Amino acid sequence: QVQLAESGGGLVQAGDSLRIACAASGRGSSGLVVGWFRQVPGKEREFVAAMRWSDGATTYSNSVKDRFTISRDNDKKTLYLQMNNLRPEETAVYYCAAGAVAFKPGTIGNPRFYINWGQGTQVTVSS
């Protein structure tokens, strides 16, 4: 089991940057994938980015590609999401998730395949 705790959310203006973090504890499987999702009330949880912990392979949703960067600090067991040029429509609760997810389209972006979730951190982007 992996325990996750997000931090770093806040209020920023459109065009600003923000980095959120996800501290992990516990023991993960060899095929562990960690990802970021976001959700607004009344909508489904949306995939943002993911990383395969073993080799650092990454993937992004098309909407954030080239603006967001997922990274990790192995020593601190922490996952980061650097978000640049934020847009008001990206206001959401951002969640960190982990699971033994097949790193391929159709599974990597499906929240049902992630079994461990953090409590979320609110990111608000004002126009």
pLDDT mean over 103-125: 95
Output the six-digit token pair for 125.
Answer: 């982007």
pLDDT in tens, 8-27: 999 999 999 999 999 999 87
pLDDT of residue 26: 85
Return the percentage of the chain with pLDDT > 90, whole number: 85
Residue 28 has pLDDT above 80, yes or no: no
Q: What one-character DSSP code corresponds to residue 86?
A: -
Indicate the pLDDT class of residue 1, thresholds 50, 70 and 90: confident
In the chain, where do the E strands start and end? 2-7, 10-13, 18-26, 33-39, 46-52, 58-60, 68-73, 78-83, 92-99, 116-117, 121-126
pLDDT mean over 44-51: 97
pLDDT mean over 29-45: 91
- Give me the chain's average pLDDT, please: 95
pLDDT mean over 89-112: 94
CB 100 within 8 A of CB 33: yes
pLDDT in tens, 75-91: 999 999 999 999 999 99
